[in-house]
Amino acid sequence: MDTVRISIEPDFTLAKVDERLFSSFIEHLGRAVYDGIYEPGHPEADEQGFRKDVIALVKDLQVPLVRYPGGNFLSGYEWTDGIGPRDQRPSRLDLAWRTIEPNLVGIDEFYDWSKKAGTGIMGAVNMGTGSPKDAGNLLEYCNFPKGTYWSDLRRKNGHETPYGIKTWCIGNEMDGPWQICHLDAADYGKKARETAKIMKWIDNGIELVACGSSTSKMPTFPEWDRVVLEHTYDHVDYISLHRYYENMGNEDDFLSSFADMDSFIKTVSATADYVKALKRSKKTMNLSFDEWNVWYQQKIQLRDWETAPEILEDRYSLLDALVVGGLGISLLNNADRVKIACLAQLVNVIAPIFTKKGGAAIKQASYHPFRDISVYGRGTVLTPVVRGPKRETCWGDAPEVAVSVVYNEEENMLTVFAMNSNRAEGRKVELDLRSFESPRMTFRTELSGPDLHVINTFENPHAVEPKGLDLTQPDGGKASITLSPASWNVIRFSVSPEGSR
């Protein structure tokens, strides 16, 4: 059995984790909103129609922000359709997903839901059919206190206090020809710049995300990102990137998807740094990875002109969960540049939470690694020295064991996340913790199993879930553990309050 040696030094710091790295996404798509978070008449529905069982699971994930309302839906969305008396709201054709949008939930209701779910909102403005003025109106409606048309309309609609939404996406995937009113990079860059100016004039406390490339596979990548940033660099705070992965038939390559995500992040960072140099700027542009997940796009089948159809409802296996864990490790290991990341999406649509209409809500397999990084990944990411076997993949050479280490000084806890991508063999791991005072293993879980394709179902909702393992205490500051084949692992150590030697 090959050995992975990991040396961890408290002074080898990468970055403090921004809690927004553990955010998610709700789009008006399929059953994400209707029959997802909102189902009046359900036994678990509250007085507003929101499912309390779903809210409890969202709280358990400790999601700090939820991006809303899209997504491709955003580029044709009239936000004013979703405010005011429900019986006066129009039903509209959603051209993005060929469905009918009843507009029973809009920004007012979603704000109420977010407070109940213990999360915030990452807002988004329409850069397809929408104008810079429309974006400013929405921001004024949400954030301006009172005394203007839009702020007083919010108050008339039942919300006296402003929403205080401080993070906003300027459009969605505008590089994609599939996008309603797709623009080229220069035209989008100019429109986004003028939108940003209006929005920050209304509320200079907000942060803005410009649309970067919707995938690293786009023929315009990374030229799109360069051109957009040349137009917007002085007016926005983040450039976005989106990436989804699916099993294309080679499970070893699929398990190594984290290597491609890492390369994508570094390329976007390098592109942003080029524009920084070009503009002689002192500002470093950070990244918002505001769509990421496993998504089986080859299986998409849309159903014409239904309300809340069952579409994009991938059922995630143990194999998929391991890949999600590996992608989470890449996000943590790039926390110096990636400050926001949104698992897309949150409920039913390619999501960790899955519901039955009128019935139960269950945790998909992918729920578990996402929850692990959200709950235990807060603190400072360290840069360990890792020596271990690699293998050749379609992404290039990739380590068999992906590793991230987070040190939480407030809790005096050190967390090691490790995903063994070798399906056939376990891996011995030797952790060198001698630079920490009195390390003591306090927690260890493993997500693994003999069948990588097993899923959680309503009949068997616990088929895939982590199991606790025996604790192995360090000897002389060194700990030896064995990772099972194809496994997701969380190992936590308490260290003395005095910190490092």
Amino acid identity at 21: L
Amino acid identity at 160: E
- The active-site residue out of 39, 140, 173, 400 is 173
Give Cβ neighbours of residue 159 (< 8 Å, ≥ 6 apart): 108, 111
| DSSP per residue, 161-229 | S-----EEEESS-TT-TTSTT---HHHHHHHHHHHHHHHHHH-TT-EEEE---S-TT-TTTTHHHHHHH
Can you state the angle between helices 257-278 and 318-332, rounded to 10 degrees? 30
Rounded to an integer, what distance in angstroms lies between the CA atom of residue 345 and that of residue 350?
6
3-class SS of residue 361? strand
Q: Are 345 and 24 in contact (CB under 8 A)?
A: yes
| DSSP per residue, 275-295 | HHHHTT-SPPPEEEEEEEEE-
Q: Are 445 and 468 in contact (CB under 8 A)?
A: yes
Rounded to an integer, what distance in angstroms lies between the CA atom of residue 249 and that of residue 322?
16
| Pairing status of strand 467-468 against strand 207-210 | unpaired
Q: Are 432 and 480 in contact (CB under 8 A)?
A: no
- The active-site residue out of 39, 109, 291, 400 is 291
- Does the annotation mark 160 as catalytic? no
Q: Is the dihedral of CA 70, 261, 350, 301 positive or negative?
A: positive
| DSSP per residue, 52-108 | HHHHHHHHHHT-SEEE-S-SGGGGG--GGGGSS-GGGPPPEEETTTTEEE---S-HH
Give Cβ neighbours of residue 450 (< 8 Å, ≥ 6 apart): none
- Does the annotation mark 173 as catalytic? yes
Q: What kind and span of H or E run contains 393?
A: strand 390-393
Where in the sequence numbering do the catalytic residues fall? Answer: 173, 291
